[in-house]
Amino acid sequence: MLLQVNFKSGLPIYLQLVDQVKAAAASGALRPGEALPSIRPLAEDLRVNRNTVAKAYSELESLGVIETLPGRGCFLKENHSALRKEVRRKLLIVEIDQAIVQAHHLQVPRDEFLELIRQRIDVLDVKRRSNENHKED
């Protein structure tokens, strides 16, 4: 999987990596049992201090997100449903907060905003169903 570092976010780098791995595990971008990039190539690729990457990986291991098999590398651990759900909710909350702030700026009142959300969910539902129908054909 591809990881990124944002120096403008104000978060320590190792925490950014930890969060990205957790988010990837939660959203399904990383599946259980899949291998993470090894420390050295990841550090070289991101041009980040190796100790930082090592720290991120050891943090993930202590959180129980990944496991290190000696001689073979780091792999995502199985069964994380509770954590996954928690992470998923957290991610969504961030997005929703942003949308609320935008609505406030654009001076869209609360009821109109909630109505818009319902409308958009219906539109996307219709689209998804028509996509599935097309696939069946």
Partner 1 sequence: MTSPAPAIHIENLSYAYGRSEAVHDLSLTVQPGRCYGLFGRNGAGKTTTMKCLLNLLHPQRGQVRVFGLDPTKHEVEVKRLLSYVPDQVAFYPWMSVRETLDYLASFRPQWNRKIEQELFDRFGLDPAQRTASLSKGQRTQVALIAAICPETDLLVLDEPTSGLDPIVRREFIQTVIGAYQQGIPGKRTILVSTHLITEFEGLIDEFTIIDRGRVVLTQDSDHARQSHQKIRARFAQAPPELDLTTALRVRREGRELELIANGTGLQLMELLRSHNPEELSTESLTLEEIFVATLKS
Q: Give contact residues for partner 1 (rule: CB under 8 A).
A: 5, 7-13, 40, 43-52, 54, 105
Measured distance CA(127)–CA(124) in Å, rounded? 5
Q: Give the DSSP per-residue string, 112-137.
A: HHHHHHHHHHHHHHHHHHHHHHHHH-
Query: Which CB atom, from 58 or from 75, has the smaller least distance to partner 1?
Result: 58
Rounded to the nearest whole angstrom, what is the least distance from the CB of residue 3 to partner 1 in the complex? 12
Q: How far is the CB of 27 from partner 1 (least distance, A)?
A: 25
Structural Rg of the chain based on CA atoms: 19
To the nearest whole angstrom, how small is the minimum distance from the Cβ of residue 69 to partner 1?
21
Give 5 or 91: the residue with its C-beta nearer to partner 1. 5
**Nearer to partner 1 (CB atom), residue 8 or residue 118:** 8
Give 10 or 28: the residue with its C-beta nearer to partner 1: 10
* Residues ≥6 apart with Cβ < 8 Å to 129: none
CA 117, 123, 126, 132 dihedral sign is negative
What's the min distance (Å) between Cβ of 16 and partner 1?
10
